[in-house]
Amino acid sequence: MKIVCLDLEGVLVPEIWINVAERTGIEELRLTTRDEPDYDKLMRGRIRILDEHNLKLSDIQSVIAQMGPMQGAKEFLEEVRSMTQLLILSDTFVQFATPLMQQLGWPTLWCNSLEVVDDRIVAHKMRIDNGKKAAIEALKGLNFSPFAAGDSYNDLAMIEAADGGCLFRAPEAILTEYPHLVLTEEYDQLLAQIKEFLKR
């Protein structure tokens, strides 16, 4: 049985941290997994910056509430879900993702959580190390044949572990380092890759 696994930010919704950076004027928050492969280092840095600027979880949630999905994302998901099972694998946090999942029609999301004290983010809690790749391997262990797509360094292990997959709007640095991975730029191109995989 086939299953499609997609990254969330940069694929279905805009990058949350870039939006927070634009809204607050804190340029250091623009750094994402498209720039920094070490997610733990990235998150520790973000939490430090939030603390320095006295930004709270509710401040970030108010930015997220105004974001919405990328144009065409909901329709794309509906089409994929009409053909096969779909799972969103993201390193985001449940405290960030809930309003976005509602706008996308409540697809299944596997992600992480934040430790919050008095509306302040004090730590990030990863469900498991390298959770996206672990999810792909677990699905294969359950006799699923997964297809994976994403745009960032933290998506590469899941794409390479899957039975099929591609990049979606990935930055030049990733394309240079991983020239063997197919790049898609639009939802119709990604859908074509998925349909081809489902025919196998």
The amino acid at residue 38 is D
- Asked if residue 169 is part of any domain, the answer here is yes
Residues sharing a CB contact under 8 Å with residue 87, sequence separation 6 or more, in sequence order: 3, 4, 5, 6, 107, 108, 109, 110, 135, 139
Structural contact between residues 98 and 67, judged by C-beta atoms closer than 8 angstroms: no
Please report how many Cα atoms fall inside a 13 Å half-sphere around the Cα of residue 115, on the Cβ side.
9
- Asked if residue 139 is part of any domain, the answer here is yes
What three-state secondary structure class fits 67? Answer: coil
DSSP 142: T
Query: What global pTM score does this model have?
Result: 0.91
User: Given its phi and psi angles, is residue 64 left (phi above 0), alpha (psi -120 to 50 degrees) or beta?
Assistant: alpha
Strands, DSSP E only, in 31-106? Answer: 85-93
User: What does the alpha-carbon distance between residue 190 and residue 76 come to, in Å, rounded to a whole number?
Assistant: 9
- Asked if residue 45 is part of any domain, the answer here is no
User: What does the alpha-carbon distance between residue 70 and residue 65 come to, in Å, rounded to a whole number?
Assistant: 14
Residue 15 phi, psi dihedral angles, 5° rounding: -65, 120
- Asked if residue 121 is part of any domain, the answer here is no
Domain residues for 106? 2-12+71-111+128-199
Domain count, the chain: 1
pLDDT score of 129: 86
Mind telling me the catalytic residues?
7, 9
- Asked if residue 60 is part of any domain, the answer here is no
- Asked if residue 6 is part of any domain, the answer here is yes
- Asked if residue 168 is part of any domain, the answer here is yes
- Asked if residue 185 is part of any domain, the answer here is yes
**CATH number where 95 lies:** 3.40.50.1000
Spell out the per-residue pLDDT of the chain, length 200, in tens. 999 999 999 999 999 999 999 999 999 999 887 788 888 899 999 999 999 999 999 999 999 989 999 999 999 999 999 999 999 999 999 999 988 999 999 999 999 999 999 999 999 999 888 999 999 999 999 999 999 999 999 999 999 999 999 999 999 999 999 999 999 999 999 999 999 999 99
